[in-house]
Copies of this chain bind each other. A is one copy, B any other.
């Protein structure tokens, strides 16, 4: 009965009549397990327990809703519920991304459903879209803003010229970011969600450990302004693409053209862009977090599960969109084999021939330059900005090592990936 638990309880109470009009049946909260009461909820005569495992064994309960978050005790609760023949609805992306393969296997064994729409992009029904709405398609790629805190920080940095640390502090005060913001800022939360989306899109097992993850902590105000001047915006994206040799699975700051709808998703809002071979590009936008937006997805899952109570397994949509026996062993590509374009920023000594050395290093590795710009000088050092065309990340890693070794380049080369996302 934390934020999402309270929201779910309140939505079920407030909209119970509308839900019954839709489903022809009443959804009853048979028991609530809570460590402490949520002051936002009027529990009335609801049966409560301070033993969370009580709900997993309560014979009156058909569906256990897990809204604890984190790995434990959530995992034990979910597995106990499954073993007791109960369907499970959860908003727990970390649990699904990391332990989903095991949890879904247990659910198949016990012939129950585990639903997790609320785990990705809050109230946006993106899991339903991928599992059902786009089921006719071979998915080519998807890209999403799937962490509201990160997007809030980048939006403030751009709109108000503020620094990362300053905005992060405000996000924590506003309650958007946790006291420990690591999961948001370092991209781990986004990687959990992307891992799930990628499995749903391509029919591969969940492989959180294979997800490349880079946070937004290294994005400077200078990069935000440079991107803007070049007609781009920096967004923290999760990207997954089906390439010839495998699946790309990566979370990182990304320059995208300012005209794209994704570039215009501001503040704490989320959006996911999915490109299918038949449908082309489609986009899903909404609140990615918060009590009631997340509850909207939790309750939609409850309704789906309740409507399907008693269905045989082959009338259900598979947990990971594809039949469990049909998951593909298409590998997740290592980052060195991912092809993308780059924004590079470096400090060069202001003297003739330095740019020639840099462009020579790029050219020798087959890296074409889209644009190059030398900005106003600071003492005898000048910032150089380069936009490249698409190249294998391995080639770029190699080029950056060589550029950083140049005597006339000082410090590290900043590298931010660039995606066109033209569906």
Contacts and interface: CB of A to CB of B under 8 A. Distances in A.
A160 interface: no
A22 B129 contact: no
Interface of A: 7, 11-12, 14-15, 18-25, 117, 122-125, 128-129, 132-138, 203, 259, 261, 264-265, 271, 276-287, 290, 292-293, 295-300, 302-304, 307-308, 310-311, 314-318, 321-323, 326
Copies in the complex: 2
A23 B134 CA distance: 13
Contacts of A133: 117, 125, 128-129, 297, 300
A259 B269 CA distance: 14
Contacts of A135: 19, 22-23, 299-300, 303
8 contacts: A7-B278, A11-B278, A18-B137, A18-B138, A123-B276, A123-B278, A278-B299, A307-B314
Contacts of A271: 283
A304 B287 CA distance: 27
A136 B279 contact: no
A316 B307 CA distance: 7
A11 B136 contact: yes
A276 B296 contact: yes
Contacts of A117: 133
Nearest to A301: B136
Contacts of A264: 259, 261, 264
Given A278-B295, A280-B286, A287-B279, A125 B134 contact: yes
Contact of A307 (B129, B137, B295, B315): B315
A293 B271 CA distance: 20
B261 A300 contact: no
B136 A303 contact: yes
Contacts of A318: 22, 24
A165 to B, nearest CB: 28
The 4 closest A-B pairs by CB, nearest first: A125-B133, A136-B299, A282-B286, A123-B279
B296 A136 contact: yes
A89 to B, nearest CB: 12
A23 to B, nearest CB: 7
A299 B308 CA distance: 22
